[in-house]
């Protein structure tokens, strides 16, 4: 008899977990259903960067998870047959305002490169060099090019993984489900029992686990991005990403689309309305590097809700007293880098029937869920 598996949440963790549950379950001993209602999902609103190596963050667990998460994309792209419209390794350019800080960062990059093959290579670029690589900019900054850096379209990523999951007999159910006090799920079919459940509901996890009397220490954070149309012979999807210090990332995509963002609004809660303040701030940030950008080039403002923990670190594992309910969350702004690896780990734990040793990536789950 097949074991019934539920995945709650179709964002970056849930979609990756659902795909790998189908991919790894070669004997088809599992019956997998993913439940998701799409509301406010951070992944689908995001376009992001996979380039964690020169981050200012000094959390060793986070860096280990992010570093291995960036490397994991090579396997994921192959396993899920992801196209360049989803994930593209075009390199990232990281900047620092102070030239001395930039030199120090380059020395750090050279050291990390020795034991981080995913970085591929690094180069110190003058502002003129950056201008050659991003010729549509009118005021390019000096920076460090990391050849292994990549960009990803969150919506296309999730859609591609769920499409592949369905081909591997994973059912996608577009609805919000709730626990009852006994641990069963209340669905459109009534109360249903599952052998194992993966919870990946992001900023909504507190509400997901409330019926089971757990307190989840996560908070919502509103993030907004803008999409602009760039009509220039110097523009193209092959261009690297610009990651300016203390400013908004600038991400060139195909079809003349430029993405700028994202905001980090701690008081935005679950509000999904775009704001003129965020739109104006993002455009101003981008105009510091391309003075030709205008308000009428903005096609849309995208809005999503991230989940943050008090120590800004992701978590994953199983409920303290229930190994059959696994979960991952608290991704914050690094979700596109860390989320897929977490989803993979959780799927493997279900398929292989045993939990991994994850203490080098995350604190005990009891630090975040009580």
CATH placement of domain 92-148+220-308 = 3.30.9.10
> In whole numbers, what is the pLDDT of the chain averaged over residues?
94
* Domain layout of the chain by residue ranges: 3-44+155-218+311-367, 92-148+220-308
- Hey, CA dihedral for 117, 314, 167, 89, is it positive or negative? negative
pTM of the complete model: 0.95
pLDDT in tens, 43-81: 666 778 999 999 988 899 999 999 999 999 999 999 999
User: In sequence order, what are the residues at sequence separation of 6 or more whose Cβ sits closer than 8 angstroms to the Cβ of residue 60?
Assistant: none
Q: How far is CA 218 from CA 20, 208, 281, 309, 311, in A?
A: 26, 12, 27, 5, 10
Q: Say which CATH superfamily domain 3-44+155-218+311-367 falls into.
A: FAD/NAD(P)-binding domain (3.50.50.60)
**What are the helix (H) ranges across 27-97?**
60-80
Backbone angles phi, psi at 270, to 5 degrees: -100, 15
pLDDT in tens, 184-218: 999 999 999 999 999 999 999 999 999 999 999 99
Give the strands of the sheet with 196-199, arranged side by side. 171-173, 30-35, 3-8, 196-199, 322-329, 315-319
DSSP letter at 202? G
* 40 pLDDT higher than 60: no
pLDDT in tens, 209-239: 999 999 999 999 999 999 999 987 777 768 9
- The residue-averaged pLDDT of 152-164 equals 94
Q: Which contiguous run of DSSP H or E holds residue 277?
A: helix 276-287
What percentage of residues in the chain have a pLDDT greater than 90?
87
């Amino acid at each position: 008899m097949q074991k019934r598996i539920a995945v709650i949440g179709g964002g970056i963790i849930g979609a990756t977990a659902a795909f790998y549950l189908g991919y790894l379950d070669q004997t088809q001993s599992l019956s997998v259903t993913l439940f998701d209602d799409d509301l406010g999902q951070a992944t689908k609103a995001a376009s992001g960067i996979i380039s964690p190596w020169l981050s200012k963050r000094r959390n060793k667990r986070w860096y280990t998870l992010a570093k291995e998460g960036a490397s994991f994309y090579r396997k994921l792209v192959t396993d899920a047959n992801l196209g360049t419209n989803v994930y593209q390794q075009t390199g990232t350019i990281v900047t620092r305002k102070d030239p001395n800080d930039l030199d120090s960062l380059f020395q750090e990059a050279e050291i990390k490169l020795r034991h981080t093959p995913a970085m591929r290579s690094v180069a110190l670029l003058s502002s003129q060099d950056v201008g050659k690589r991003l010729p549509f900019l009118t005021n390019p900054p000096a920076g460090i090019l990391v050849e292994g850096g990549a960009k990803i379209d969150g919506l296309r990523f999730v859609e591609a993984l769920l499409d592949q999951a369905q081909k591997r007999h994973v059912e996608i159910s577009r609805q919000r489900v709730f626990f009852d006090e006994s641990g069963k799920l209340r669905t459109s079919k009534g109360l249903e029992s599952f052998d194992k459940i993966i919870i990946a509901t992001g900023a909504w996890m507190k509400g997901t686990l409330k019926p089971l009397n757990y307190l989840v220490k996560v908070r919502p954070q509103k993030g907004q991005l803008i999409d602009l149309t760039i009509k220039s012979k110097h523009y193209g999807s092959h261009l690297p990403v610009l990651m300016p210090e203390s400013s908004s990332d600038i991400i060139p995509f195909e079809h003349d689309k430029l993405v700028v963002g994202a905001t980090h609004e701690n008081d935005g809660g679950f509000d999904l309305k775009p704001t003129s303040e965020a739109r104006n701030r993002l455009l101003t940030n981008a105009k510091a590097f391309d003075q030709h950008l205008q308000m009428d080039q903005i096609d849309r403002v995208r809005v999503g809700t991230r989940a943050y923990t008090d120590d800004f670190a992701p978590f994953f594992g199983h409920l303290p007293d229930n190994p059959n309910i696994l979960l991952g969350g608290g991704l914050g702004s690094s979700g596109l880098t860390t989320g897929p690896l977490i989803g993979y780990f959780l799927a493997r734990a279900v398929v292989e029937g045993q939990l991994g040793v994850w203490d080098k990536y995350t604190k005990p789950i009891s630090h975040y869920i009580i």
